[in-house]
């Protein structure tokens, strides 16, 4: 963490530079896909990063930040409560953490159980806008990965649509990381998630405007296949220390 004005200035310059590089990648990918970059939201994944780093990026114009650990995120959100930040929860959801998620976050990307959705609905303060929700889909059907299978999504969509205080926005997935044909597989997964969204809209008459997919190493492919939110951590903040 920067501990002097000179350290802060160096960190500020570093973060601004990396943020600009990621935005340039998004712009170039959107242009190559004949898309408008303004339709793609960059969520800076700030888990394990100090509030000071978030503040530096906020001063550089970044407004959306993603966190995975409630106990770490809530103090940072409180410290930065005067900033108009859009907070995204992107991690696995534990039942005993739903009250804080419902209270402190604007978006939740990782809903994969109706029980969790019901808890978030009950615990969302009435004074706040409805919670923006994405269903996490295990599109590659990896046993170790969280998320519902594509066959289970329709039932969860129907259930969430009935819940007050919830604004179902779309689908989220995490591409496979350790496969022989990684590039091919992740492109197939991104395309399949986009196709699944279209199928749900046609079959259930719902409007899903969000595809949350793509991270530091694969955002170009995600944009190519329709991502409206990309979640980028290491390409902005650097690789996390063990």
Q: Are 102 and 124 in contact (CB under 8 A)?
A: yes
pLDDT band at 93 (very low <50, low <70, confident <90, very high): very high
Q: Please report whether residue 201 resides in a domain.
A: yes
Q: Please report whether residue 242 resides in a domain.
A: no
Angle at 27 between CA 170 and CA 45, to 5 degrees: 55
DSSP state of 48: T
pTM value? 0.94
Q: Please report whether residue 212 resides in a domain.
A: yes
Quote the number of domains for the chain: 1
Q: Are 206 and 198 in contact (CB under 8 A)?
A: no
Q: How many CB atoms sit inside 10 A of residue 164's CB?
A: 9
Mean pLDDT of all residues in 66-94: 97
Distances (CA, A) of 153 to 48, 110, 136: 31, 13, 9
- 122: containing domain: 5-237
Q: Which CATH number goes with the domain that contains 219?
A: 3.20.20.10
Q: Please report whether residue 125 resides in a domain.
A: yes
Query: pLDDT tens digits for 156-179?
Result: 999 999 999 999 999 999 987 655
């Amino acid at each position: 963490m920067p501990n002097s004005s000179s350290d802060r200035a160096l960190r500020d310059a570093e973060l601004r530079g990396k943020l600009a590089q990621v935005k340039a990648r998004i712009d170039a990918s959107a242009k190559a896909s004949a898309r408008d970059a303004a339709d793609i939201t960059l969520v800076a994944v700030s888990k394990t990063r100090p509030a000071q780093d978030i503040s530096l990026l906020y001063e550089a114009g970044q407004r959306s930040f993603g966190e995975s650990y409630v106990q770490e995120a809530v103090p940072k959100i409180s410290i930065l409560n005067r900033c108009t930040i859009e907070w995204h929860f992107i991690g696995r959801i534990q039942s005993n953490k739903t009250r804080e998620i419902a209270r402190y976050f604007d978006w939740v990307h990782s809903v994969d159980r109706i029980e969790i959705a019901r808890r978030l609905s009950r615990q969302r303060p009435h004074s706040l806008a409805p919670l923006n929700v994405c269903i996490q889909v295990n599109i590659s059907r990896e046993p170790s990965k969280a998320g519902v299978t594509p066959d289970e999504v329709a039932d969860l969509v129907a259930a969430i649509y009935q819940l007050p205080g919830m604004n179902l926005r779309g689908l989220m997935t995490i591409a496979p990381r350790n496969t022989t044909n990684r590039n091919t597989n992740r492109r197939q997964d991104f395309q399949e998630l986009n196709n699944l969204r279209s199928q749900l809209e046609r079959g259930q008459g719902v409007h899903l405007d969000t595809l949350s997919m793509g991270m530091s190493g694969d955002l170009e492919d995600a944009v190519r296949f329709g991502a409206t939110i990309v979640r980028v951590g290491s390409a902005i903040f650097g690789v996390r220390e063990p």
